[in-house]
Amino acid sequence: MKSDFIAIPDGDLCSPLGFEASGVKAGLKKSGNPDIALIHSKSPSSAAALFTKCRFPAAPVQISKKHLAKSRESYRAVVINSGNANACTGKSGLENASEMAKIAARELSCDAGNVLVCSTGRIGVPLPMNLIASGIPAAAAALSRKGGGDACAAIMTTDTFPKRLALSMELSGNKVTLAGMAKGAGMIAPDMKGLHATMICVITSDVAIAPRLLQKLSNEACEESFNRITVDGDTSTNDTVIVLANGMAGNPALKSAGGDSAKFAKALSYLMTELAKQIVLDGEGATKFVSVKVEKAASKKDALLCARTVANSLLCKTAWFGADPNWGRILAAAGRSGAKIKPDSFELYFDHLCAVSGGMASDVPECKLAEILKNDEFTVRIVLNCGDADCEVWTNDISYDYVKINADYHT
C-alpha cells in the first residue's frame, strides 16, 4: 500500500505547497496552553468534509456544513478553537461560530463562506468571544510555513501527544504532497458517513482534484479509517474531518476514478488510517492497542457489527487491561452483536494462539494466552465461518486512569 508514496520526516500541514498555519494562546484553556489554530491556503482550495451524525451537532459543525453547501471550490482557511466545544449553546452559539469565520476571513482578506470552523472542549458553555476576537487575529499574524506543529498543539485537549503525518508521491511526473493533523483521546467512536467535542482532523494537499471526486475519495477513506476506531464507544457532538486541496502541485486535475486518482486515494486512505491509529494509541488512560479482526462473516455489515461490539465491550476492555484472557466475554459480545453466528463453528485467536475452537476452549494453556495480553499491542481475531466478509476495528483497553480523567474533566 505504501509503494506509491513515502512519509516526509517531520512533515506537517504546511508540507504541501501553499499552506501556512499557526497556533496561539487566547486564554480559553485554564492551563494556558495554545487554544486557537489557523490553517490557511494561499490559493483557493477544493474542499471535502465529513461531520458527526450525532443529533446534537455543535454550532461549528452546522456553520461549516452551511458554508460547504454553497460551493466546494474556493476554500481558504480552517479556524479551530480548543477548550470550548460551542455545542448545545443555541442561537448565540451559531452566531459565535459564524463570527469566528468572519473574523478569520477579515484577517485573511477572503469571504467568510470560504472559511470552515471547528471547536473542541467542554459542551454547553458559551464561547468567550472576547478571547476569540483577539485570538484569531493573533493566529493570523503568526501564520507561517513553519507553523504546522503549533497548530497541531493548539487543538489538543486530553491528548498526550500531537498527531500528524505527511506523505509525498508523484502523479504524472508532478510531486504531490498531502498531510494531516488530528486530535482525540476520549469520546471516540466516530460515525461520519456523508455528512462527525473530540475527534477533529484537517488534511491539506497541493494536488489538483475536482471537489466531487475529493469528497467521494474522502468518504471512502474515512469509512475504512476513522469509522473503524473506538476508544469508549461515544460519538461526539463536534467530530469533523476536513480535506483541502489547492492544486498548487500542478498535476493534471484528477476528475475521475482510476489511474492517478487511484494512487491518490491509496495515499489518502493510508494517511487517515495512520492518524486514526494514533488517536487510539493516545486513548485516555490506555495501556494497550488492540486490533479486533473479524473474518468469514456472512456480510460486511455483520463483520463490522461483531468487531465494534467486541471493541466497545467494557468487560472485554477491562479484561485486556488486566491481561486476562477471558474469552467468554468476547463470545458474549459477539453473540449479542446481531451478526450471524454459528456457535459450533466459532473460532477465536489472541495473535496466533487459538483460544476457542468450535465454540469451546482450545487446548492452549491459559497462561500462554495471558502472556500475549501482557503485550502493548495484540490482535483479537474472530473467525465466524459464516461467509467471506472481513473487517478490522482498532481500539484499546480501559484502565483506572480512564475513569479518573473523565471523572475530573468537567471541573
**Would you state the torsion angle of the CA atoms of residues 249, 8, 239, 262, taken in this order, to the nearest 10 degrees?**
50
User: Angle at Cα 48 formed by Cα 64 and Cα 102, nearest 5°?
Assistant: 30
User: Angle at Cα 41 formed by Cα 38 and Cα 43, nearest 5°?
Assistant: 160
How many Å separate Cα 337 from the centre of its chain? 24
Q: Are 132 and 100 in contact (CB under 8 A)?
A: yes
Of the candidates 52, 157, 158, 198, the residue annotated as catalytic is 198
How many other C-beta atoms lie within 10 A of the C-beta of residue 300? 14
The CA distance from 265 to 245, in Å, is: 13
3-state class percentages of the chain: helix first, strand second, coil last, to nearest 5: 35, 25, 40
How many other C-beta atoms lie within 10 A of the C-beta of residue 266? 18
Locate 34 and state its grid cell. Answer: 495554545
Distant-in-sequence, close-in-space partners of 362: CB < 8 Å, separation ≥ 6: 354, 355, 356
Based on the residue annotation, tell me whether 198 is a catalytic residue of this protein: yes
Distant-in-sequence, close-in-space partners of 27: CB < 8 Å, separation ≥ 6: 35, 128, 131, 135
The CA distance from 4 to 59, in Å, is: 39
Q: Using CA of residue 211, residue 393, residue 84, residue 42, what is the dihedral sign?
A: negative
Distant-in-sequence, close-in-space partners of 322: CB < 8 Å, separation ≥ 6: none
Residues taking part in catalysis: 198
